[in-house]
Amino acid sequence: MGGQQFWRKKVMLVRSLIDSDLQAFLHQYHIPGLAIAVVQAGELTYQQGYGFANLEHSIPVTEHTVFEIASVGKVFTAMLVVLLADEGLLTFDHSVRDYLPDLPVAWQPVTLRHILSHQSGLPSYTEVEDYWDRTHLNLPPLEVLGWVSHLPLKFKPGDYVSYDNTGFYLLGLVLETVTGQSYGELLRDRIFQPLHMTQSQINDPTELVPQRAAGYQWRNSRLCNKPYYSPAMTYAAGGHLASLADLVKWEQALCKGTLLPHDRLAALWQPRPSALGQEWTTWGYGMGLGWFVLNYGDRRVVGHNGSIVGFASNMTRFLDDHLTVIVLCNGDGIARPDAIAKTVAGHCNAAIAALPLQPPM
């Protein structure tokens, strides 16, 4: 009985610390609403919504609130590529032009593996000079890619790590080409329906999405509704919607090896050093296949941030500690949602709390 009482008190203390920190984060970063989950060894141990999904209607955040998760969705794109590669429809070390022959000849050296590990050297379409003047445009994918298709590679593929969105945009087109299905249909059929992720889909702002969160920005010392951001700007690079409850199902599927056996999942989280870069020691991270691999010494930690107009998100998996934290926000004022995830993980595991945040702030 004494042991059970001690455990209950410890759990209550941890939850109190998490609550206190998250309330502080909401205030500090002007976040209207936040949803968070802690999953330990595949079991949901903490799940809570804070603040509001919609300020105008005073709708609170719950585990079923649907957020834009931005680049966290890249892990779904990577999963689709691995699933189709295992079926023989794709080959990691083939050029992206083998699947999309109309791409520039200069991009011939770029393989799917280079793209998945952000070592492609492709110029990112989100970094063109007047990108933010175009984000309201609903354009076909090839027109978006046309913004950078005339540009040379930034470096020889494999030499360095340089995060870009162009490669994952291309992966969406590759997936559609080899299957004859749309990217959204592939997500539905290969990931969301098998895992019963009923609130997850590719974003379409014109659709009625039950429990969709509104996105907000902090401008001129006040919260404002986010401006329109076309889904043409995100696509397979981060145009995904999901609820906290659905991402818990995704985490549990990773723990169980539901979609891929554990040895194949491990390949996603194996750091792939570039030939000339020193990202592991200098920047504090490396890249797996679609996942960031964080340099916490001998402790294996993987994750991904998401950032888009009006929203921020993170999923961090402390593999050796069997601990995962998922964070979803409907404000974009926080540049490092992974810092929230690590703070929460530290309350659950003192050894994690003692580690400095990677990559360094």
Instruction: Round to whole Å and give the CA distance between 215 and 81.
Output: 30
Residue 199 maps to a domain: yes
Residue 73 maps to a domain: yes
Q: Is pLDDT of 14 > 80? A: no
Instruction: Round to whole Å and give the CA distance between 136 and 129.
Output: 15
3-class DSSP state for residue 222? strand
Q: Which residues make Cβ contacts (< 8 Å) with residue 156, sequence separation at least 6?
A: 109, 121
Share of the chain above pLDDT 90, in %: 93
State the pLDDT confidence band at 361, using cuts at 50, 70 and 90.
low
User: Per residue in 86-104, pLDDT tens?
Assistant: 999 999 999 999 999 999 9
User: Per residue in 227-246, pLDDT tens?
Assistant: 999 999 999 999 999 999 99
8 Å CB contact between 254 and 262 = no
Residue 130 maps to a domain: yes
Q: CA torsion sign, 160 to 163 to 167 to 171?
A: positive
Report the candidate in 310, 347, 250 with the shortest Cα–Cα distance to residue 55. Answer: 310
Residue 151 maps to a domain: yes
User: Per residue in 302-335, pLDDT tens?
Assistant: 999 999 999 999 999 999 999 999 999 999 999 9
138 token code pair = 């609903």
Residue 68 maps to a domain: yes
Domain region containing 64: 18-353
Residue 360 maps to a domain: no
Instruction: Round to whole Å and give the CA distance between 109 and 103.
Output: 12
Residue 207 maps to a domain: yes
Specify the CATH number for the domain of residue 66.
3.40.710.10
8 Å CB contact between 313 and 69 = yes
Verify cis geometry, omega within 30 degrees of 0, for the bond prior to 359. yes
Crossing angle (nearest 10°) for helices 166-179 and 74-86 = 40
Residue 318 maps to a domain: yes
What's the number of domains the chain is made of? 1
Instruction: Round to whole Å and give the CA distance between 242 and 192.
Output: 10
